């Protein structure tokens, strides 16, 4: 198995690669284009962008230049908070699709659970899904309470919840709830932007497997059945991050990494964010 053959199956039967390239903070134009092209060359088939990353055009142009058939790729984008609500989400979707240069999207996510709006936003995603404009719909940064609220009125269950996840933030209750509901969990900030690389436990496990800390962290996501989308614009790191399908962590490794949990967030808390 490798990056281009390892797929999770979503609750509607759509297959989503376990590994994707994140492009938050990759600059539109040459930087993001190069990163996406190098990733596709390295076997990545999934790209995670958002209107808020302001690089959908670069992602779209890289997809065209990559030479890989559109149906082999899995493209995710997200509706930003300012665009939430029914009509405005439909408009935001069209804008994202124009920038990406796509007819059909693979996954559209509600970026954050904006209070008083996310249920109308979800209705718009359901409309897009029913119209065949997007193959899967999901949410991001939704806690159990947000999901419970959404499911009271949702006609279609989210297929994915993209959340901050790494050994310092285990999110056990949320992952358990998602599993029970058939919602695939996807990790953002899986590498903690490198902050956790120097942790002795991570280093010890990396040495034991002759792998790098980044590879251990990403493999730990896979062992937890969490889709992962590390970001890099550096070719050697893009390749390094894809080489996670040729080894396995032991139960002991996984336990040790799980025990690093401190409920520590690098990003905003979905309960208190104010943007
Ligand atoms: N839904 C949300 O609210 C949300 C929030 C944040 C992120 N995300 C998504 O999740 C993706 C990943 O999260 P993230 O970008 O915040 O953080 P991350 O993937 O944990 O870390 C990315 C950083 O680590 C560096 N890096 C990557 N691979 C490395 C390696 N093998 N060795 C050393 N350093 C390495 C990158 O540097 P270089 O690029 O310079 O190589 C970059 O600075 C984002 O790009 C985005 O797509 C979603």
Nearest CA to ligand 1 atom 5: 188
Please state, rounded to an integer, the average pLDDT across all residues of the chain.
Answer: 98
pLDDT tier at 189, thresholds 50, 70, 90: very high
User: At residue 162, what are phi and psi to the nearest 5 degrees?
Assistant: -95, 120
Separation of alpha carbons 121 and 110, rounded Å: 7
* 259 contacts: CB under 8 Å, gap ≥ 6: 201
| Domain-located, residue 41 | yes
Distance (Å, whole) CA 255 – CA 259: 6
Decide: 159 and 107 in contact? Cβ < 8 Å: yes
- 162 close to ligand 1 (CB < 6 Angstrom): yes
CATH code of 57's domain: 3.20.20.100
Give the ligand 1 atom nearest the CA of 50.
47
Query: Is the distance from the beta carbon of residue 141 to the nearest atom of ligand 1 less than 6 Å?
Result: yes
Residues spanned by the domain of 144:
7-195+224-232
Tally of structural domains, the chain: 1
3-class state of residue 118 by DSSP: helix
Q: What is the pLDDT of residues 135-181, one digit of tens each?
A: 999 999 999 999 999 999 999 999 999 999 999 999 999 999 999 99
Quick check: CB of 96 below 6 Å from ligand 1? no
Segment 10-38 shows an average pLDDT of 98
In a domain, 141, yes or no: yes
User: Does 215 map to a domain?
Assistant: no
**Does the pLDDT of residue 118 top 90, yes or no?**
yes
Query: Ligand 1, atom 8: nearest CA belongs to which residue?
Result: 188
- Which whole-number Å values give the CA distances from 94 to 51, 78, 80, in the listed order? 11, 12, 13
- Determine, yes or no, domain membership for 56: yes
Q: What are phi and psi of 138, to 5 degrees?
A: -160, -170
Q: Does residue 24's CB lie within 6 angstroms of at least one atom of ligand 1?
A: yes
pLDDT tens-place string over residues 33-83: 999 999 999 999 999 999 999 999 999 999 999 999 999 999 999 999 999
User: Residue 153: its pLDDT value, please?
Assistant: 95
Answer whether residue 241 is part of any domain.
no
How far apart are the CA of 40 and the centre of ligand 1, in A?
A: 17
Q: Is residue 275 a part of any domain in this protein?
A: no
Catalytic residues, by residue number, are 53
**Ligand 1 atom index nearest CA of 212:** 31
* Structure tokens belonging to residue 162: 């993209």
Categorize the per-residue pLDDT at 1 as very low, low, confident or very high, splitting at 50, 70 and 90. confident
Q: Is residue 13 a part of any domain in this protein? A: yes
- CA 192 – ligand 1 centroid, Å: 7
CB 237 less than 6 A from any atom of ligand 1: yes
Say if residue 111 carries a ligand binding annotation: yes
Classify strands 74-79 and 105-110 as parallel, antiparallel or unpaired: parallel
CA of residue 82 to ligand 1 center, whole Å: 24
Per-residue model confidence (pLDDT) at position 185: 98
Whether the CB of 228 sits within 6 Å of ligand 1 = no
Q: Residue 211 domain-assigned?
A: no
Query: Considering the entire predicted model, what is its pTM?
Result: 0.98
């Amino acid at each position: 198995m490798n990056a281009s053959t390892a797929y999770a199956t979503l609750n509607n039967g759509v297959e989503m690669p376990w590994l994707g390239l994140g492009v938050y903070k990759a600059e539109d134009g040459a930087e993001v284009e190069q990163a996406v092209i190098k990733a596709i060359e390295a076997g990545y088939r999934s790209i995670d962008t958002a209107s808020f990353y302001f690089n959908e055009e670069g992602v779209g142009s890289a997809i065209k230049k990559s030479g890989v058939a559109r149906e082999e790729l899995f493209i995710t984008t997200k509706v930003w908070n300012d665009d939430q609500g029914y009509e405005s989400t439909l408009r935001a979707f069209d804008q994202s699709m124009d920038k990406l240069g796509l007819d059909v999207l693979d996954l559209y996510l509600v970026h954050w659970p904006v209070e008083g709006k996310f249920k109308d936003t979800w209705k718009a995603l359901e409309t897009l899904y029913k119209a065949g404009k997007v193959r899967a719909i999901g949410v991001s940064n939704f806690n159990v309470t947000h999901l419970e609220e959404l499911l009271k009125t949702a006609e279609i269950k989210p297929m994915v919840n993209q959340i901050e996840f790494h050994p310092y933030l285990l999110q056990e209750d949320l992952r358990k709830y998602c599993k029970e509901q058939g919602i695939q969990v996807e990790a953002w900030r899986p590498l903690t932007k490198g902050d956790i690389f120097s942790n002795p436990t991570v280093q010890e496990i990396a040495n034991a497997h002759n792998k790098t800390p980044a590879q251990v962290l990403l493999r730990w996501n896979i062992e937890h059945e969490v889709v992962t989308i590390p970001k890099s614009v550096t070719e050697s790191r893009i390749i390094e991050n894809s080489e996670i399908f040729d080894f396995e962590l032991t139960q002991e490794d996984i336990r040790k990494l799980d025990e690093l949990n401190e409920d520590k967030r690098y990003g905003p808390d979905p309960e208190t964010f104010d943007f």
